[in-house]
């Protein structure tokens, strides 16, 4: 986890603990690597334009590792791709999950009206990004409901109640 921006306070140790708890609760075991970066709006704008055809900075982007390896799973462990994978042996390379990129400036701007606070917004973005890396999506109503339900559960368990309700019907 790395804080590569200078505009907003980021408690890297706190967010690392949250990320580890989310991965554990999602059934990820063994040696894994997940990159989490906190970046400036200019960096996020470039990523959003390049990978999402978006305009301007967004709050969070997730980049799961999707190798084109023919065998089952992802190199180097060739296990299954989901949380049911068996633990990686100590002498094996860690499973690369992917990258989550968060823009604290966007979180600070959106947080008060969305989750109620900057910290709550960062927590939601981190959990949301990790769930995307692990394969969850919000491409239809059923997927959206499942992802939001899981976000709520993970946040309540590992972060605490949010000051606002980002899942309120009027926000949908």
Domains belonging to the chain, first-starting first, are 2-163 (3.40.390.30)
d(CA 38, CA 69): 30
pLDDT one-digit tens code per residue, 44-53: 999 999 999 9
Distances from the Cα of 51 to the Cαs of 47, 63, 68, 99, 132, in angstroms?
6, 9, 18, 13, 15
Give the single-character DSSP code of 38: E
Cα radius of gyration rounded to whole Å, the chain: 16
Q: What is the pLDDT of residues 51-109, one digit of tens each?
A: 999 999 999 999 998 644 333 344 444 445 555 556 545 556 678 999 999 999 999 99
What is the pTM assigned to this prediction?
0.84
More confident residue, 132 or 66: 132
């Amino acid at each position: 986890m790395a804080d590569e921006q200078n505009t907003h306070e980021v408690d890297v140790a706190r967010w690392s603990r949250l990320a580890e708890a989310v991965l554990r609760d999602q059934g990820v075991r063994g040696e894994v690597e997940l990159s989490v970066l906190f970046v400036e709006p200019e960096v996020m704008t470039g990523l959003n334009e390049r990978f999402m055809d978006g305009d301007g900075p967004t709050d969070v982007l997730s980049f799961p590792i999707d190798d084109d390896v023919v065998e089952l799973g992802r190199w180097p462990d060739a296990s299954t791709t989901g949380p049911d994978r068996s633990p990686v042996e100590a002498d094996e390379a860690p499973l690369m999950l992917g990258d989550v990129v968060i823009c604290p400036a966007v979180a600070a701007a959106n947080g008060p009206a969305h989750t109620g606070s900057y910290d709550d917004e960062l927590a939601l973005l981190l959990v949301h990004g990790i769930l995307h890396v692990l394969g969850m999506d919000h491409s239809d109503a059923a997927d959206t409901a499942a992802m939001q339900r899981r976000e709520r559960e993970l946040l309540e368990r590992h972060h605490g109640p949010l000051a606002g309700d980002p899942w309120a019907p009027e926000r949908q």
